[in-house]
């Protein structure tokens, strides 16, 4: 009795093993690529957030140096840098105007690695590699993550 190939249904065990092996290999290659892509997106977002905050700090410094901000911005120890990041969002009273405020940020950007809107801050008098803030002004910000970039540099040093 000969079996007709038209009556045969389903897959053999060997065909199933081969199919699952191929799927396993493809999945094994896709996972590292996905992780790499996610890390790259976080790095890009970190660069953009740092650039946005540093630009706002620089604009605040320029406005203070040119006298566009009110007297409270020129405190003795601030050296024309903002006292906090919130100050950039809330705004600073403009010089000469009674109710006009100048805002430098819409909101504090989120750190993509920590997921929070909290940043490490450095004042003018702090050491560039310091992880503690002097508290007198905000000269620079850094990520509070302990993770490192693929080249080995900590993201906190970006």
pLDDT digits (tens, 9 = 90+) for 82-132: 999 999 999 888 887 677 889 999 999 999 999 999 999 998 888 877 788
Which residues neighbour 100 within 8 Å (Cβ) at sequence distance 6 or greater? 93, 94
Instruction: Supply the pLDDT for residue 3.
Output: 56
Report the pLDDT averaged over residues 22-46. Answer: 89
pLDDT of residue 31 exceeding 90: no
Q: Is the pLDDT of residue 77 over 70?
A: no
In a domain, residue 53? The reply is yes
- Domain assignment present for 1: no
24 compared with 3, residue with greater pLDDT: 24
Block residue for tokens 């003795």: 76
In terms of C-beta density within 10 A (0-12 exposed, 13-18 middle, 19 or more buried), how is residue 143 classed? buried
- Residue 35 within a domain: yes
pLDDT at 6: 61
Number of structural domains (the chain) is: 1
- pLDDT, greater one: 88 or 133: 88
pTM summary value: 0.77
Classify residue 57 as exposed, middle or buried by CB count within 10 Å of its CB (0-12, 13-18, 19+): buried
41 found inside a domain: yes
pLDDT score of 98: 73
For residue 132, the enclosing domain spans 13-157
Does 40 reside within a domain?
yes
Q: How far apart are CA 104 and CA 59, in angstroms?
A: 7
In a domain, 8, yes or no: no
Residue 116, pLDDT score: 94
Q: Does residue 75 lie within any of the structural domains?
A: yes
**pLDDT for the residue 117:** 93
pLDDT number for residue 4: 58
Q: Classify residue 31: in a domain, yes or no.
A: yes
**Per-residue pLDDT tens digits for 38-75:** 999 999 999 999 999 999 999 999 998 888 887 766 66
**Two structure tokens written together for 149:** 């970039």
């Amino acid at each position: 009795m000969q079996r007709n190939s038209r009556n045969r249904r389903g897959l053999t065990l060997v065909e199933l093993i081969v199919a699952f092996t191929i799927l396993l290999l493809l999945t094994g290659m896709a996972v590292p690529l996905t992780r790499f892509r996610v890390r790259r997106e976080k790095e890009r977002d970190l660069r953009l957030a740092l650039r946005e905050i540093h630009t706002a700090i620089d604009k605040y410094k320029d406005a203070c140096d040119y006298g566009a901000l009110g007297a409270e911005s020129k405190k003795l120890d601030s050296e024309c840098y903002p006292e906090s990041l919130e100050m950039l969002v809330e705004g600073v009273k403009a010089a000469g105007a009674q109710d006009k405020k100048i805002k430098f940020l819409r909101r504090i950007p989120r750190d993509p690695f920590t997921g929070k809107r909290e940043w490490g801050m450095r004042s003018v008098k702090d050491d560039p590699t310091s992880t503690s803030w002097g508290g007198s002004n905000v000269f620079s910000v850094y990520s509070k993550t302990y993770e490192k970039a693929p080249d080995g540099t900590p993201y906190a040093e970006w």
